[in-house]
Amino acid sequence: MQNYKAPLRDMRFLTHEVFSAPIAAAGGNGEALAPDLIDSILEEAGRFVEEKLLPLNASGDEEGCHYENGVVRTPKGFKEAYDLFREGGWTALACDLDYGGQGLPERVNKLVEEMICSANLSFGLYPGLSRGAYQALRDHGSEELKRRFLPKLAAGVWSGTMCLTEAHCGTDLGMLRTRAVPQADGSYALSGSKIFISAGEHDLTENIIHLVLARLPDAPSGTKGISLFLVPKFLPDEQDRPGARNGVLCTAIEHKMGIKASATCQLTFENAKGWLVGAPHRGLAAMFTMMNSERLSVGIQGLAIAEAAYQSAVAYARERIQGRSLSGAKNPNQPADPIIVHPDVRRMLLTMRAYAEGCRALGLWVADALDAVERGEGEKAEDFAALMTPVVKALFTDFGFEAANLAVQVYGGHGYIRDHGVEQYVRDARIAMIYEGTNGIQALDLVGRKLGAHYGRLLRGFFHPVAAFIGAHKEDAAIGKMVHALEKAFGALQLATAHIAEAGMRDPEEAGAAASEYLRLFGLVALGFMWARMAKTAATKLADGAEESSFYHAKLATARFYMERILPQAGALYLSIKSGKQAMMALAEAAF
């Protein structure tokens, strides 16, 4: 049985204690949201996902989606759950007030996203894609397109997708072939095929809005010739209701390893009517608004799986009795002790916990930057969000998959069979390391684009606060030992950064060879910084005699585990980076 309770206490700790700056509603009058209001939103979200979405997770995986003659039906219960989700206003949570949204910031929205995906990742993909489509259209669409389509997306009565991938090209979008021909009425006729389109066809909403990358007849070759188009499944009538069927058809759905209740579609466009979004030949820049949003959300999916897998593993470890504690029987009236007494089981549980809680903190730090960008606070916030996007996407999804595998290991043979549901977490988590740009691509983005951008300016938003915290707290009696561990890992990151910058200028393959290890090193230090901040907050609360002392003691214990058992990997990663490319590039291709 899958176990999940929304981690509301940890969310409150981060929201009100660690990141304690006031939270303002987006697009409002700048007044801070009351903490009680934020808590009530999170509590209601937790209640909804536990009661309505979690019960559908295993059954949705078992049943999957159904395809017949271009029509896709989601598993039993999904349509009813989505209707309740939409009626509850959850699709409008972070949408603009001008388009019928609630105007809540990403700092709150990302916590709700996490809860949805922990309870039912397949379900979460449907509104998640709509959120990305909303943002891309809001930032790049004409006023007419925004007026007609954004309120529908915010209300959740229409949903959205992004259509990039074609059978012959994935990451290399410069090779795409879908064509868009201008029409006399100012629209375009699109023809081509797309694959791997999440939520490309389903029965949850009355219309689906596809954002499609295609080429105009006069387009230059490569990525500089790509434009973005809005193509609805049904053409809106004069009252903006779904009208005639457009020339877009789902020709198949994929039979997948995981996320089986999410429809992954092959779409064919045959003179489908669409409208240009943004400027001609500037579609990739517009689509990256959606892709960057989705990459952060995919990172949250990894965190969500890690949390759900952790909770299930803890429940099993407390109940499963097997063997005796190495220090003597802890349960003498029973034939064996619960496996949670064994050091190796605790190693696995603490690793999962440290991943989930550390990623949650880092995710909120990045969400704060996104909110600052929305408020127009400029370059510093934009730089930080750009720098951290590949780290969040890749690190969180790597850790989510690792945590899901650890959960199976805690369960032993019972984890490998389907009865308990943890093997689903492994299958569901695996795709997050692939879609929206594989984690290897994220690493290349970090070292190839972000490190050298503006002469290293982007790094300041991370390096400067980490260095300042270390300088201020390394002699702190309560957390000084942890801060020294962070300082050592941070030093390795600084040396690795300098090495890649120097070696990469001589030979780009040197940077490429180091990219994945560098992203992992960067991510470990980032989580170390988060754990140091959380430890400082917890130690201060305990010194002040705060209630819930067990919560703060648990924070300090988990922080110590992270600093002593996980963060030291930074040293080995630095040595691997410094070794250079030869070990992986010297072998002749024919020898593989």
Q: What is the pLDDT of residues 337-367, one digit of tens each?
A: 999 999 999 999 999 999 999 999 999 999 9
Q: How distant is the alpha carbon of residue 424 from its chain centre?
A: 18
420 domain residue, yes or no: no
The pLDDT, as a whole number, for residue 554 is 98
Is the confidence at residue 27, as pLDDT, over 80? no
Query: CA–CA separation, 402 vs 408, rounded Å?
Result: 10
At 273 the three-state DSSP class reads strand
The pLDDT, as a whole number, for residue 28 is 57
Span 359-380, mean pLDDT?
Answer: 92
Q: Under 8 Å CB-to-CB from 114, ≥6 apart: which residues?
A: 300, 303, 304, 307, 360, 363
Span 225-236, mean pLDDT?
Answer: 97
Is the confidence at residue 93, as pLDDT, over 90? yes
Is the confidence at residue 26, as pLDDT, over 70? no
360 close to 6: Cβ distance less than 8 angstroms: no
Is the confidence at residue 291, as pLDDT, over 90? no
Residue 530 exposed, middle or buried by CB count within 10 Å (0-12, 13-18, 19+): buried
Residue 494 exposed, middle or buried by CB count within 10 Å (0-12, 13-18, 19+): middle
Q: Residues with catalytic annotation? A: 436
Amino acid (1-letter code) at residue 532: A
564 domain residue, yes or no: yes
Percent of the chain whose pLDDT exceeds 90: 91
Least confident of 14-18, 172-176, 397-401: 172-176
Is the confidence at residue 464, as pLDDT, over 60? yes
The pLDDT, as a whole number, for residue 438 is 96
Q: What is the pLDDT of residues 170-186, one digit of tens each?
A: 777 778 999 999 999 99
Span 43-49, mean pLDDT?
Answer: 98
- pTM (two decimals): 0.96
The average confidence (pLDDT) of the chain is: 95
pLDDT confidence tier of residue 30, bands split at 50, 70 and 90: low
| Residue 284, both tokens | 């990739």
Closest CA to 308 of 490, 571, 53: 53
467 domain residue, yes or no: yes
**Enclosing domain of residue 540:** 439-585
The pLDDT, as a whole number, for residue 24 is 75
450 domain residue, yes or no: yes
401 close to 430: Cβ distance less than 8 angstroms: yes
Is the confidence at residue 545, as pLDDT, over 80? yes
Q: Helices in 375-479 by DSSP H: which ranges?
A: 379-411, 413-416, 422-430, 439-445, 457-473
Q: What is the pLDDT of residues 190-219, one digit of tens each?
A: 999 999 999 999 999 999 999 999 999 999
Between CA 166 and CA 172, with CA 168 as vertex, the angle to 5 degrees is 80
563 domain residue, yes or no: yes
Percent of the chain whose pLDDT exceeds 70: 99
The pLDDT, as a whole number, for residue 223 is 85
Closest CA to 90 of 117, 62, 67: 117
Number of folded domains that form the chain: 1
Strand partners, 198: 264
129 domain residue, yes or no: no
The pLDDT, as a whole number, for residue 339 is 97
579 domain residue, yes or no: yes
79 domain residue, yes or no: no
- Torsion region of 414: left, alpha or beta (phi above 0 gives left; psi -120 to 50 gives alpha): alpha
